[in-house]
Amino acid sequence: MECVFCKIYKENKDVIYENKYFFAQFDKFPVSPGHAEIIPKRHVASLFELSDEEWKYLKSALVDVKEIIEKSDLKKVYEGFLKKSN
């Protein structure tokens, strides 16, 4: 069975951020406006499996994705999702 996140990454669909170990996308079913997912490129069962280097890149991703969210027109982002689902 193919990993849904691997498929998103391979297709480069809706990826809003990427670094060496992680990529991010806006959640298509957000709990709150700007809800984004930061996803490791390597399959791990838990965050506790991340290496020290991956933790550093995750921290950087959190800061960078927060900035992207703050600069985004979230109304347009989610209207785009609605158009794609119709």
pLDDT beyond 80 at 85 = no
pLDDT tens-digit map of 28-43: 888 888 999 999 999 9
Q: How far apart are CA 21 and CA 57, in angstroms?
A: 7
The 3 state secondary structure assigned to the chain is CCCHHHHHHHHCCCEEEECCCEEEEECCCCCCCCCEEEEECCCCCCHHHCCHHHHHHHHHHHHHHHHHHHHCCHHHHHHHHHHHHC
pLDDT bin (cut points 50, 70, 90) of residue 78 is confident
Range of the structural domain that residue 59 is part of:
4-85
Average pLDDT in the 53-77 region?
95
Domain count, the chain: 1
Q: What is the CATH number of the domain that holds 54?
A: 3.30.428.10
3-state SS of 43-65 is CCCCHHHCCHHHHHHHHHHHHHH
Mean of pLDDT values over 57-68: 97
- pLDDT confidence band for 86 (50 / 70 / 90): low
pLDDT on residue 15: 92
